[in-house]
Amino acid sequence: MTLSGEAAERALNDREPNLLRYALLAHDIEGFRNDPRDNILHLSLIHHVARRIGKDPKAVFESVLSDVSQTTAEHLAAFVRRPESSKKLMALREVSTPDGIRFEPTD
């Protein structure tokens, strides 16, 4: 999930929504095979960044559904259907660095 997080950070710092697509495609590569909480954490990060750069998170997620596996599409669609309160940035916080915003685990 490192690739997803790094792509989301770059999307925020570069104000480049296409990088959110790469962040989501990283979940397809991983295939939701590991702890699903890790995926949820990173999906909440992508959702957060989409809002921060002025994009509709639902549209960002839906834009990749036809390009990913059925399993990944189901997981992404399920995330989009979650209540907004459960999509907030989880277990990460924004930290300003000389190179831009980074996301670090909260304590």
C-alpha distances in Å from residue 43, one per residue of 63, 64, 97, 98: 14, 13, 23, 25
- Residue 1, pLDDT score: 67
Handedness of CA 58, 63, 66, 70 (dihedral sign): negative
pTM above 0.85, yes or no: yes
**What averages of pLDDT result for each successive group of 10 residues across the chain (107 residues)?**
93 97 96 90 97 98 97 96 94 95 92
- Residue 89, pLDDT score: 92
- Residue 11, pLDDT score: 98
